[in-house]
Amino acid sequence: MTKRVLITGAAGRIGSHLASALKDRYSIRVHYHNTVPEIPPVDDVHIADVADYDAIAPALVGMDAVVHMAADPSTRATWETVRDKNIIGAYNVLEAARVAGCQKVIFASTNHVMGMYDRDRQWPIYANQPPRPDSLYGVSKAFGETLGRFYHDQHGMSVICLRIGWFLTEPKDEIGLWMWLSPRDCAQVVWRAIESPIGYGVYYAISRNSRRHWDITETIERLGYKPEDDAEQYAAAILGHG
């Protein structure tokens, strides 16, 4: 049977892409809050504030998996914003998934969980190093990763955290050459995570960029990820060598 997958935050750049890219693979339900497209990519739509448990909980009913994208992604976000949207929201989605019997959660984490390593140019960076967030946004995602660990250990749920790089159609600058995540690689790493039997894990989600500073060995070996794109094809144009 086709798996039923909820995508929260489906109005965002990544969430909207995933809803369209994965709708032929899964039966998709999309979640929106303040921004609702005039023509959603699927008919199954749930509108709610993730910070309101009673509002978001019905979205998890009947789902086999949830890809939790809803959050404020700004590194300048205030404490009040990350508390409500990112921390309370993550708890509400995980708890609602548990209550509904949805055993698979893909948690959209971020490279900003380890951003101080990047600031200090302490490369390469591995997913199993101690977190060093560079912002309250990064702190909120580190919380989500740890919360996912608890839900796996305590409740037996499968929670896979993806530390997403820079999602763009194509890289635009030198930083993008090492942290780019292409749209098709993004869709692939998410469906690989949905299909994975792994109980809990944290993995970097970027394309196979030759200049990458983040290790994706475990993403490849454990999730079966086979990235197709490399930002190096844009290097000459970006760096002015061609």
Burial-class residue 184 by CB neighbours within 10 Å (0-12, 13-18, 19+).
middle
Per-residue pLDDT of the chain (242 residues; tens, 9 = 90+): 899 999 999 999 999 999 999 999 999 999 999 999 999 999 999 999 999 999 999 999 999 999 999 999 999 999 999 999 999 999 999 999 999 999 999 999 999 999 999 999 999 999 999 999 999 999 999 999 999 999 999 999 999 999 999 999 999 999 999 999 999 999 999 999 999 999 999 999 999 999 999 999 999 999 999 999 999 999 999 998 65
Q: Is the dihedral of CA 76, 59, 32, 228 positive or negative?
A: positive
DSSP-assigned beta bridge partners for residue 47: 32
The answer to whether the beta carbons of residues 68 and 88 sit under 8 Å apart is no
Instruction: Report the amino acid identity of residue 107.
Output: F
Classify 156 in phi/psi space as left (phi over 0), alpha (psi -120 to 50) or beta: left
Q: How far apart are CA 42 and CA 28, in angstroms?
A: 7
DSSP-assigned beta bridge partners for residue 30: 7, 45
Give catalytic status of residue 137 as yes or no.
yes
Domain ranges of the chain: 4-239
> 4-239: what fold?
Rossmann fold (3.40.50)
Q: What is the 3-state secondary structure (H, E, C) of 23-74?
A: CCCCEEEEEECCCCCCCCCCCCEEECCCCCHHHHHHHHCCCCEEEECCCCCC
Helices (H), the chain: 13-22, 53-60, 79-81, 89-100, 115-119, 136-155, 176-179, 183-195, 217-223, 235-239
Q: How far apart are CA 101 and CA 60, in angstroms?
A: 8
From the list 137, 203, 204, 234, the catalytic residue is 137
Element (DSSP H or E) covering residue 200: strand 200-205
Q: State the pTM of this model.
A: 0.96
Closest to 158 (Cα-Cα) out of 147, 149, 169? 149
Residue 1 has what pLDDT? 85
